[in-house]
Structure 1
């Protein structure tokens, strides 16, 4: 498949997830504005004319209703407004059954069924869950069934939001209190900081952050380990205060931007990808500036730094519920799988580790569905899944 087609797939999937957040009222203000702008600029319906969709558009609309959990009686005007993106929803129905294998330069696309049954235990996809550690050391377990609320913070089980008024309160105090949010394997979580900045935490990640910020002073948080996507509240809203994300091996200073940092404990490289805005990345011997669509890689083994242009949507697709692999080895893919499904992976055949893939898969699938997809491509002969241990043969 050509690169343009693969990119188109990722863009369609990204639009689908964006629309899902839009309808679920979980989209950021920037994302809401984006959808509103699209519909206003490109899809106005004259009030004097009734729009009647053709059979194909009507069928695709039903896919949207199913995938995005809309009410079936949604207006025809809304149908017209979204018909350019309807195909995105139908793509989601195919993602779980499509995997692109790359073993040769002439990469081909192979479609494989995912409904085969094997004699292994079921491992469901990860969920929204985390542990919030308060300033006094108390741990609060957050799950999709948990509701937690104090004067300064509230969690509904899917996200945790800090009271923005706490920013003003902090300006009168020198002492800053810190919380930790730890996301285990098999989990993900969203946090809105006291300054309005938003952070999405991937599986097996930990964030340290203040419960309030001092007006005019640099706002600092620490990604202790793991992966996080940041959407930073602009400095102009905070008396010019910059924002800094620290890690034991580097720091990223921003003014107001969106970026992704991947810094897992067991990996020897840290990846910083800029989506929009500008950032400065400082490490032991390097000072690098990024522009949008660039990724900085810090190799901890030799302290080397490289900067490359990348497909941003592929890099951040995890936030939108998508596994996106572009030339990744099966060994690296299984690291991602192990975090999301909370399993340990062993290779009985070591030669399997270096097989490379291009592909996209939905994260909401049962693990067996993903394993069957790989098995049906004849990449592995079989697998055994028992007591949180996955053996590939």
Structure 2
């Protein structure tokens, strides 16, 4: 791994810590910097005086004018992404972190931007709970509810920790719409974080000693599973489409959206067995199974589990993702549709970290500033990119 790659990976972890208001432990443990370097970096990132100085300097920079000078000296033009990759390293450590640290919500916009009435909001805690009799209950922040098996404060749904000796299981559904997320604690103590546009089917309690089976109907979920030793050796299984993931006690992520042909299962801790079409694949931490539901092929690969699961911590972490892939992720969280005036920009790549707690306009302005898009327009619930 090159030093540049190490810096990029490190910057992602530092940004996540500071955006979450935590001490950046990744910087403290980094071996590529001396103690003096670490103190200097931390000071530059968190000191208000330095942050304001950078913001002032940034306003004086004409990036388009300066880039034209660079392009004029290049014999053969390179893809725009190459330029952005290096700019993004600085953006992660200076721009994104600084803005996140100061909790800025407003950015300077052009007169044309100010004339637009924005109707796209960031995601919130929201879900629909469907009971065993078909009754639907809206869960949202600030609204407390209680059923015969569970209770919710509007941010989390918690089931009574209870096992039954035998009998038929009763199931509930939790559905997360676009522009939302939610957390649920199942009756065995397993915690599940559900991303936008996701549905989970699960029993209101489990049978003692029998496998604990839930179904990710569609969408994305992060599972922190209660260990089998606490449940008479009963394993925990997640069913999705043609895939069954079996665990004893671990943390993993499943991404299985209806509009995507691939199912991605990423292991963070422990060990899991992914059964696809009768064949079992064992995963170790940091590995991901990529199941092509159309081609019926399976690829096991090593990934950065942080990038695959950062959504649960309030952060988008993109590592060489195309604009098309990025906009699909953002559209679920902010609940919008996207149109492209220039299809060529769909392949432009992005590397960096974005807070989920900011306005979509801020993200679009960042994409424009770094040359990923030339311009954008917001028309109701549709974003048009050029």
* 1:124-139 paired onto structure 2 within 5 Å: 124-139=121-136
Change (3 A) 1:56 1:283: closer
Post-superposition offset of 1:311: 1.0
Deviations, residues 168-211 of structure 1 (Å, cap 9, x unaligned): xx22x411111100000000000000000000000000000110
Q: Is the 8 A contact 2:80 2:372 kept in 1?
A: no
Post-superposition offset of 1:376: 1.6
Q: Is the 8 A contact 2:85 2:350 kept in 1?
A: no
Residue equivalent to 2:116:
120
Matched, 1:259 2:252: yes
Change (3 A) 1:220 1:105: farther
Match of 1:144 among 125, 141, 157: 141
Aligned equivalents of 1:105, 1:255: Cα separation in 2: 45
Q: Secondary structure at the match of 1:108?
A: helix
Change (3 A) 1:14 1:238: farther
Post-superposition offset of 1:116: 2.9
Change (3 A) 1:17 1:160: farther
Aligned equivalents of 1:162, 1:270: Cα separation in 2: 28
Matched, 1:6 2:8: yes
Residue equivalent to 2:177:
184
Instruction: Provide the aligned C-alpha RMSD in A.
Output: 2.9
Matched, 1:268 2:261: yes
Aligned equivalents of 1:7, 1:59: Cα separation in 2: 19
Q: Is the 8 A contact 1:102 1:108 kept in 2?
A: no
Aligned equivalents of 1:56, 1:297: Cα separation in 2: 37
Deviations, residues 125-180 of structure 1 (Å, cap 9, x unaligned): 1001010000000000011121111342111111110011x32xx22x41111110
Post-superposition offset of 1:18: 6.8
* 1:306-321 paired onto structure 2 within 5 Å: 306-321=299-314
Q: Secondary structure at the match of 1:372?
A: helix
Aligned equivalents of 1:350, 1:161: Cα separation in 2: 45
Matched, 1:283 2:265: no
Q: Is the 8 A contact 1:374 1:380 kept in 2?
A: yes
Aligned equivalents of 1:197, 1:139: Cα separation in 2: 23
- TM-score using structure 2 length: 0.78
Q: Which runs of 5 or more structure 2 residues have no equivalent in the other structure?
A: 29-38, 59-78, 100-105
Q: Secondary structure at the match of 1:103?
A: helix
- TM-score using structure 1 length: 0.76
Q: Secondary structure at the match of 2:372?
A: coil
Q: Is the 8 A contact 2:87 2:370 kept in 1?
A: no
Q: Secondary structure at the match of 1:327?
A: strand
Matched, 1:360 2:353: yes
* 1:1-393 paired onto structure 2 within 5 Å: 2-16=4-18, 103-104=81-82, 107-110=85-88, 111=91, 115-117=107-109, 118=113, 119-122=115-118, 123-164=120-161, 166-167=162-163, 170-171=164-165, 173-284=166-277, 286-393=279-386
